[in-house]
Amino acid sequence: MDPYAAPGDHDELTKGWFVRSMPDLNPENPLLGTYLIQNSIWWIEYAGLAGIRMDTYIYPDEAYMTEWTKSVMNEYPNFNVTGEVWHTNPAIVAHWQRGKANANGYISYLPSLFDFPMQNALRMALMSPDEGDSGWNILYEMQAQDFQYAEPNQLVVFPDNHDMNRIYTQLEEDLSKFKMDIAFNLTTRGIPQIFYGTELLMTSPKNRDDGIIRSDYPGGWDGDAINAFTGSGLSEKQIEAREFIRKILLWRKNAQVIHHGKLMQYVPKNGIYVYFRYDENEKTMVILNKNAGPVTLQLDRFKNMIGSSIKGQDIISGKEIDMKDSIHLESPGPLIIAMQSKP
């Protein structure tokens, strides 16, 4: 997408091998290009696939990737392909999504991409103090960049994946920050992806080690001291994290406002970031609080969204929340409130 790119640099990106141990195929060969399309369609049909994760989407020839994706989507209009474009700049990621009007005329048929910009912004927001443009403002401003995407609701949001350190490690094993990361990914726009073992607070060395990042899931293997399927051997924190994620996911299954609702966010203030998911029938308020001690959140600035709602329910604890004037936040962490209107 660089309008000033040198031809040699472009060729090095698209025609060179990804790494020395992974030789690239040449889809510009018409017979090979056709074979790769036919092979993909065969596997989708044979295995009954619902989607494909297309690794390192930008490295092959871009014209061929358009041809490949268009062919697959024409054959299966309800199929999904999610492309990996590992960059933290949303303008670069957005270039590759279907429906984006690009200045260089490039047309893509790729429905979905991994939201690496949001993943990085969320981690930075959680790990930096709320001063000036740091802290929650990093996440707020990244979410505001959605105007760059043709279909932001089709982006895949995620805490971590198999190519980076475990999120619990990235957050320096802070459980409250972990919960806020998870809560955000399961309530913001887009399609959430949770890497196996995240619910168990799996960790990894700070110096990336893919073998450890992708360790076997504990349980079911000879010699396993921990069995995550039965809960045997899990620590109290692991049980708490697993139950936290389970409750959100069970609620989320039937929360249409999270699946299809609009999003409204408010400028973060005093270490608290607030946004709403809403439609004609439902509203959900999400509060992410980084304050170490007790704090009171005044609700007057949110009245345009709260409206006639006077009560809400904390989806984690099940407790009723008074929505009249203020909400007392005892400790850092997330609060997800399913709002109730007057009868």
Mean per-residue pLDDT, 311-336: 96
Local structure of residue 227 (DSSP, 8 states): B
Q: Burial code of 162-174, b = ≥16 C-beta within 10 A, e = fewer?
A: eebbbbbbbbeee
Residue 122: strand, helix, or coil = helix
Could you tell me how many helices (H) and strands (E) the chain has, helices first? Answer: 12, 13
CA 277 – CA 59 distance, rounded (Å): 36
The dihedrals phi and psi of 274, each to the nearest 5 degrees, come to -125, 135
pLDDT of residue 309: 80
| Tens digit of each residue's pLDDT (9 = 90 or more) over 229-241 | 999 999 999 999 9
Residues 6+ apart with CB under 8 A from 122: 139, 142, 159, 181, 184, 185
Q: Are 87 and 56 in contact (CB under 8 A)?
A: no
Q: Give dist(CA 28, CA 87) in Å, integer.
A: 26
> To which H or E segment does residue 296 belong?
strand 295-298
Specify the pLDDT at position 77: 96
Determine which one of 11, 12, 45, 55 is catalytic: 55
Q: Which of 331, 335, 289, 283 has the alpha carbon at shortest distance from 314?
A: 335
pLDDT-derived band at 15, boundaries 50, 70, 90: confident
Q: pLDDT tens digits, residue range 86-114? A: 999 999 999 999 999 999 999 999 999 99
Give 153-206 pLDDT, tens digit per residue: 999 999 999 999 999 999 999 999 999 999 999 999 999 999 999 999 999 999
Beta-strand pair 80-83/51-54: parallel
Beta strands at 112-113 and 80-83: parallel, antiparallel or unpaired = parallel
Please give the mean pLDDT across all residues of the chain.
95
- CA torsion 158-246-269-173 (nearest 10°) is -70
pLDDT digits (tens, 9 = 90+) for 123-160: 999 999 998 889 999 999 999 999 999 999 999 999 99
Mean pLDDT along residues 39-49: 98
pLDDT band at 19 (very low <50, low <70, confident <90, very high): confident
Domain definitions of the chain by residue range: 7-258, 261-340
* Confidence (pLDDT) at 341: 60
Whether residue 84 lies in the annotated active site: yes
Say if residue 203 is exposed, middle or buried (CB neighbours under 10 Å; 0-12, 13-18, 19+): middle
55 is catalytic: yes
Is the pLDDT confidence value at 343 over 60? no
* Tens of pLDDT, residues 202-226: 999 999 999 999 999 999 888 899 9
Q: What is the pLDDT of residues 249-271, one digit of tens each?
A: 999 999 999 999 999 999 999 99
Q: What angle do CA 190, 192, 194 make, to 5 degrees?
A: 165
For the domain with range 261-340, which CATH number is right: 2.60.40.1180, 3.10.20.90, 3.40.50.970, 3.90.180.10?
2.60.40.1180
Write down the catalytic residue from 62, 84, 130, 160.
84
DSSP class of 152: G
Query: Does 310 score more than 90 pLDDT?
Result: no
Q: Which amino acid is at 68?
A: W
Cβ contacts of 133 within 8 Å, gap of 6 or more = 141
Question: What pLDDT sits at residue 150?
Answer: 98
In the CATH scheme, what is the homologous superfamily, with its name and number, of domain 7-258?
Glycosidases (3.20.20.80)
**Which tokens go with 240?**
């708490």
Backbone angles phi, psi at 118, to 5 degrees: -70, -40
For residue range 47-86, what is the model confidence (pLDDT) as tens digits? 999 999 999 999 999 999 999 999 999 999 999 999 999 9
